[in-house]
Structure 1
């Protein structure tokens, strides 16, 4: 129990979480605080590129065979979480079939913000993790989104006898899932980190390194505001209908820790896999789902992923996943 309190204390008093909480408070008290749109776009690009570059540098030290068990496991976990999410929201919480597909796409995918905050926590407590996990972040983004939309299209074609959404082609869906702006920036950063010479990387370190955590804090301030605003937009919905937004992260994170242990990841690597498996996408998934499943209620899937699951993971999930791994792994 003492370990739980110590981990929670370390996490809650980190500057990133405090900035996130300030963003929440700003909306609750109706502050006129706003983050300019252009500024938000700029620091989002810097954050994603920085994570990609760091991962690309580390990829120089590993082979595909080293990563293969983690790659396979991550894809399987994405599909499993899609299935668990679908059964949970459709069977237990009685959402419509359309909304269930949309929600499951988000919870089978991953959140880059949770990943970033999680690795910052691990670095703060001095825990090693396999740095190629940023590549796993990219890999886990798309499978559940593709699966949800394919199943949705099969279902609607059976019901209607024809495809009523020709613009929502599978080709477009794949493009959004794997080459949307967040994934494209991560892939671009990985490429730069992998092929750029060391002297060149040193030259860009002030922006894509030294300033990273300061920029991340401002980003999380903004995310706290956006998350709280998304909750406010959920109207005429019973609070108990969204308990899945807290259940699924715990289930996913637990599976991530156990899977990481099983395939031989370090304690930190298993925790990072838990960050990914227990998170929900609110960037790539909404872009693809909004195009391919327009009948789904965007307030439900964005509100739950961004307004509920993200804050839960930042405040509760991250320390829980680390505590669980500390229990599972031998001392």
Structure 2
């Protein structure tokens, strides 16, 4: 009972964070039809600054740390990204009125990582005084890329199977008509068979559809603006010595820029709610439950790393936060290109309108409270 009371007290304290206040404020003014607008160019600059700051800090830490410490958390991050997509494939896709490719794309977006949610989580950790490995932010691509690749591959396999089944049904119909014609005395001409094993394999490949090329998916993800900024910061932090620039320019304005970003995200979340009305209401349920479930999976694996390798409580929280997040920048264009048949209103609407606010307003305080209660940090 004492553990539960301590956890609830800490959880509700986190809800009073200024970061979350700006998010809720953005939703409120959007609901009131305010004409306040933040230019898209300003939004992109803020995201760039935040992720560069996170990347630089991570790169500096990587340069000074033992890379072997990263192996288990990085492996867990990749596993989480893949598992999240399979969860959506075998849960959301089975619900009424849910189109399978839409469900897979939604799983891919929820498996991918939000740079802004990561930045918010880091800010709250610092405000709580929780120590974490600065390189933990570098777990971002280890989860993001496998999730997007898995979603696109699964969608391609499913689409190919559907085409194959459709073709078999068509052939069955033709066979039936052929038998009817034979019964009527109209014999069909001799069928043409493959003349060689190579020709047979060629026909089989053609009937099964083209294979999925992994590298273009990875390349598209790496070229996304969010991941590019983060990786650039990490590389510069490793190969240069940007400590003075980091301390004098990138670090001081971090909290202020993040507050403006939360305001924009709150306004965006409210504007996306209308998109969910175009798709099945199950997306709302999924988008509310998924960030918490995914985050708890991340927290559980992070806790295993904490026990086995000494992964810090703050690091456990970061792994949980990126697992709970859903990509808001690089993920949507990657999925639009990789799964063109999926409905963006389904996966973007559920992510932006419900998933991200839940991850920010409920998930981050929840995971910090759990870490403090379980690991005494």
Asked if 1:71 is matched to 2:113, the reply is no
Quick check: which has more Rg, 1 or 2?
2
Q: Are positions 1:188 and 2:188 aligned together? A: no
Q: CA separation in 2, counterparts of 1:163 and 1:19? A: 53
1:324: Cα distance to partner?
2.5
Give structure 1 stretches of 5+ with no counterpart. Answer: none
Q: Which is further off, 278-287 or 45-54?
A: 278-287
Question: What value does the CA root-mean-square deviation take over the aligned residues?
Answer: 2.2
Match in the other structure for 2:17: 14
Q: 1:325 to 1:88 in 2, by over 3 A?
A: farther
Take 1:34 and 1:237, find their aligned partners in 2: how far apart are those partners? 27
Distance verdict in 2 for CA 1:323–1:163, change over 3 Å: farther
Counterpart of 1:175 in structure 2 is: 219
Residues 107-118 of structure 1 aligned to structure 2 (within 5 Å): 107-118=110-121
Structure 1 range deviating more: 233-242 or 124-133: 233-242
Aligned to 1:32: 35
* C-alpha displacement of 1:189: 0.4
8 Å Cα contact 1:169-1:292 kept in structure 2: no
What does residue 300 of structure 1 align with? 346
Q: Deviations over 1:270-310 (max 9, x none)?
A: 11111011221122221111012111110110111111011
Q: Is contact 2:47-2:116 (8 Å) kept?
A: no
Moved over 6 A (4+): 163-166
Task: Indicate yes or no: 2:289 matched with 1:247.
Answer: yes
Q: Return closer, same or farther for 1:109/1:203 CA change in 2, 3 Å cut-off.
A: closer
Q: Is the 8 A contact 1:88 1:244 kept in 2?
A: no
Name the residue aligned to 2:87: 84
Alignment partner of 1:60: what SS? helix
Using structure 1 for the length normalisation, give the TM-score: 0.92
1:257 aligns with 2:299: yes
Name the structure 1 match of 2:273.
Answer: 231
Q: 2:279·2:346 contact (CA, 8 Å) conserved in 1?
A: no
Aligned partner of 2:258 among 216, 231, 238: 216
Separation in 2, partners of 1:163, 1:134: 44
2:150 matched residue in structure 1: 147
Gaps in structure 2 of 5+ consecutive residues: 165-205
Give the deviation of 1:93 after TM superposition: 5.3
Seen in structure 2, the aligned counterparts of structure 1 residues 280 and 165 have a Cα distance that, compared at 3 Å, is: farther
How far did 1:126 drift? 0.8
Is the contact between residue 275 and residue 345 of structure 2 (CA under 8 Å) also seen in structure 1?
yes
Where does residue 323 of structure 2 map in the other structure?
277
Structure 1 match to 2:248: 206
Alpha-carbon contact 2:283-2:346 (below 8 Å) kept: no
Residues 168-210 of structure 1: CA deviation (Å, up to 9, x unaligned): 964432212233111111000001111222xx53135333110
Deviation at 1:9, TM superposition (A): 3.6
SS in 1 for 2:277: coil
Q: TM-score, normalised by structure 2?
A: 0.81
